[in-house]
Amino acid sequence: MPETPKLLFLGSAAAEGVPALFCNCRVCREAAARGGPEIRSRTSYNFGGAVQIDFGPDSLQAWQRYRNVMCEVRHIVVTHAHEDHLQPSDLLYHGLGFASVPFRDGPLTIHGTAPTRARMEREMWLRPGESLDHRMEESKLALHEFHPFEEFELPDCNAVVRTFAADHAPALDPCLLMVTMNGRTVFVGNDSGVFPETTWNALESLRGKVEIDVAVLDDTGAFLGMPESPSPEPPYESNHMSAPAVIRTFDRLASAGLLAPDCIRAVNHFSHNGGATHRELCDFWEKRGIVVGHDGLSL
Ligand SMILES: [Zn+2]
Ligand SMILES: [Zn+2]
Ligand SMILES: [Zn+2]
């Protein structure tokens, strides 16, 4: 494990990817023509090797691209059970007979809220009468269920996870995550609109106890709602964010004393429906001191 655990952006798109499935909008056409960081797979992250945040439909691609890092994964923490963040059937390939030589000893632990468990029950091909626990054991997987506003340790990698309610698909108990490993703290704010006040209360209670070194917010709607936006659509405030809500949220995190003095501020989880290419996002955000996520970015 490296001394300073890094946050690796395995993906940077919202649910449809960029260029998106079946879409021929301007953003998708320009992304396809330019390639490089304009091409986005669905958002997930690796933190410090041992911890993966979300396990979406592009996890195979992440394994193929970042194999050395992915071989260290011991825990997958699922923010919520939407399809772009959780692909339960691919977890079955962790079992013997699929992964014929296990990539390391010991189980892989999946951490998620109750709706994440429910989707795993539906989509992991349980035999008649079989329990999810049995299926998991057979696949050398373990399941740990958490709730919003919890704190739990991952002792085998010296990490602590804190969870907060997101403003997003309420039926899924979606969570924002704060993960501290070896003294470095990252905050993953997707998927969420403007944070609920209960979440602000919980965050503000951490003042003086923890400082965020890398803060990533949901910018699904790019800079909709700003004068520079190429699209006249209104800003995203609930369920997801665009620039006005992102800027306010970074300001409030800073005034709550939660950001380290040299905190890296980043945005991620972009939709082509936000109407901006990667190049346009960089033009907009970099002058405001904010890093634009892209596949393969390591912070
Ligand atoms: Zn999403
Ligand atoms: Zn498109
Ligand atoms: Zn979602």
Instruction: Mark the residues whose beta carbon lies below 5 A from ion ligand 1.
Output: 84, 191
Contact present, 88 and 44 (Cβ < 8 Å): no
Mean pLDDT in residue range 264-269: 98
> Is the full-model pTM beyond 0.85?
yes
> 46: which 2 tokens?
């690796």
Could you tell me which of 54, 173, 170 has the C-alpha nearest to residue 111?
Answer: 54
Query: Is residue 135 included in any domain, yes or no?
Result: yes
CA of 24 to the centre of ligand 2 (A): 5
pLDDT given for residue 88 in this prediction: 97
Query: Is residue 2 included in any domain, yes or no?
Result: no
Render the burial of 55-76: b for 16+ CB within 10 Å, e for the rest: bbbbbeebbeebeebbebbbbb
pLDDT given for residue 166 in this prediction: 98
Mean pLDDT in residue range 153-168: 96
Q: Is the predicted pLDDT of residue 2 greater than 60, yes or no?
A: no
Task: Name the domain count of the chain.
Answer: 1
CA of 229 to the centre of ligand 2 (A): 16
CATH number, residue 76: 3.60.15.10
Query: How many other C-beta atoms can be found within 10 angstroms of the C-beta atom of residue 243?
Result: 26
Tokens 């959780």 belong to residue: 86
Tokens 């490993």 belong to residue: 181
CA of 202 to the centre of ligand 2 (A): 37
- How far apart (Å, rounded) are the C-alpha atoms in residues 57 and 291? 25
CA of 197 to the centre of ligand 3 (A): 20
CA of 15 to the centre of ligand 1 (A): 5
Query: Is residue 298 included in any domain, yes or no?
Result: no
Query: Is residue 133 included in any domain, yes or no?
Result: yes
Query: Is residue 297 included in any domain, yes or no?
Result: no
Query: Is residue 188 included in any domain, yes or no?
Result: yes
Whole domain around residue 262: which residue ranges?
A: 7-292
Q: Is the predicted pLDDT of residue 1 greater than 70, yes or no?
A: no
Share of the chain above pLDDT 90, in %: 93
Contact present, 234 and 225 (Cβ < 8 Å): yes
Mean pLDDT in residue range 111-119: 98
Cis-peptide, bond into residue 191, ω within 30° of zero: yes
Query: Is residue 46 included in any domain, yes or no?
Result: yes
pLDDT digits (tens, 9 = 90+) for 189-245: 999 999 999 999 999 999 999 999 999 999 999 999 999 988 889 999 999 999 999
Residues 161, 166, 168, 169: is their CA dihedral positive or negative? positive
Ligand positioned closest to the Cα atom of 173: 3
